[in-house]
Chain A
Amino acid sequence: MIESFDTSYLIVLGVLLLCVAIALIRVILGPTAPDRIVGLDTINTIVIVSMIIFGVASASVIYIDVAIVYALLSFISTLFIAKYLEGGEF
């Protein structure tokens, strides 16, 4: 494995953090509720990717397992919120 923190992966993490910040602006500004959900979905995916990158940078595989679980749980939450917006019976 990689011995210590690799600076190039830290730069990648910084750019991903910038992506999350830009998507967060849409979550705050969004005129309607589906806009905010689209922003949250994008943030979820970027957080999964940045967890994988952080697992490589800090040389610990446990972050990638956390990323798998986060992907599945965020999918369930997205489906649930979409179903809530759609209205009707569950």
Chain B
Amino acid sequence: MLGEIFEIIIYLFLAIGLFFNLLASLGLLRFPDVYTRLHAGTKCTTFGSIFICGSVFLLGLKMWIYDGDTNSSVLAIHTAVALIAILLTNPTGAHAIARAAHKSGVKPVGAVIDELDIKVNRNDNSKQVKLKKSKKPSKNKKTNEVKEEN
């Protein structure tokens, strides 16, 4: 009885994970923009892989505890480690890609205002002003030194 319930949950998790992975690739194909494609291709894949790895984890747990097969504990534990690796690495990589896309000059399609661009440009302007202020006296000093040497 308990084994049947476990099997139903395992197949349900597999179906949910497959559905979300398929949605991820369809969104990757259909969305108009880098950022929306990233939104589809990373979040949906993470969610789907949580469910698929969870189903494999439950399969190993079921064979370990319910069927009494101690070799299946390796399956459950290693799948949990792989799931932790996916959960740690996937959002970080997505953040890095979005940052690189924005810095390399890809604009969002149909966006009215780009607040991050305004913020970055304002910071750059303040930095440039500071650099110019700090550079000017140093140049004068250098020219003075050169004149003194001459």
**Residues of A near any B CB (own CB < 8 A):** 1, 8, 12, 15-16, 18-20, 22-23, 25-26, 32-35, 37-39, 41-42, 45-46, 48-49, 52-53, 55-56, 61, 64-65, 67-68, 71-72, 74-75, 78-79, 81-83, 85-87
A64 touches B75 (CB 8 A): yes
Instruction: With CB as the reference atom, state the residue of chain B lying closest to A41.
Output: B93
Number of residue pairs A-B, CB distance < 8 angstroms: 148
List the B side residues contacting A85 at CB < 8 Å.
100-101, 103-104
Partner of A45, one of B26, B74, B86: B86
Interchain residue pairs with CB less than 8 A apart (29) = A19-B21, A19-B24, A20-B25, A22-B29, A23-B24, A34-B104, A34-B106, A35-B34, A37-B97, A38-B28, A38-B37, A46-B24, A55-B75, A56-B56, A61-B75, A65-B78, A68-B78, A68-B85, A71-B85, A71-B89, A75-B89, A75-B90, A79-B93, A82-B96, A83-B96, A85-B101, A85-B103, A86-B99, A86-B103
- In the docked arrangement, what's the CA distance between A53 and B51, Å? 12
For residue A40, give the distance in angstroms from its CB to the closest CB of chain B.
10
Interface residues of B in 19-72 (CB under 8 A from A): 21-22, 24-26, 28-29, 34, 37-38, 41-42, 45-46, 48-49, 52-53, 56, 59, 63, 69, 71-72
**Residues of B near any A CB (own CB < 8 A):** 11, 14, 17-18, 21-22, 24-26, 28-29, 34, 37-38, 41-42, 45-46, 48-49, 52-53, 56, 59, 63, 69, 71-72, 74-75, 78-79, 81-82, 85-86, 89-90, 92-94, 96-97, 99-101, 103-104, 106
Given contact pairs A34-B101, A37-B100, enumerate 10 new A-B contacts (beta carbons under 8 Å): A1-B69, A12-B52, A23-B41, A34-B97, A38-B37, A39-B41, A49-B48, A53-B52, A71-B86, A86-B99
